[in-house]
Amino acid sequence: MGSMKTAISIEDGLLREADAAARSLGVSRSRLFAVALDSFLRNQRRETMLRQLNEVYGGKADPSEKALRGRMKEKLHATLKDRW
């Protein structure tokens, strides 16, 4: 995997802070930006996946699913009651 040189505009204060962080970590500014962007994009992918899962599983259950959950709870309670 190669690298591509690019130009971006960043607020002066943010750039100074990034430079200080890069020096503190002992990495180049480019490396700091690459790692930060990678982290940001991974987080965005996780958030997207979580949002999609919540859409699929967070909705209202259909009646047959509710009935099945009810029977499962009853079975679990009966099993626990018998054991104790």
Measure Cα distances from 1 to 4, 51, 59 in Å. Answer: 10, 30, 41
Q: Which amino acid is at 35?
A: V
pTM above 0.85, yes or no: no
CB 54 within 8 A of CB 47: no
User: Could you state, in order of their start, the residue ranges of all structural domains in the chain?
Assistant: 12-83
pLDDT digits (tens, 9 = 90+) for 49-81: 988 888 787 767 678 888 888 898 888 888 777
pLDDT digits (tens, 9 = 90+) for 4-54: 999 999 999 999 999 999 999 999 999 999 999 999 999 999 999 988 888
Element (H, E) at 52: helix 29-57
pLDDT band, residue 84 (cuts 50/70/90): low
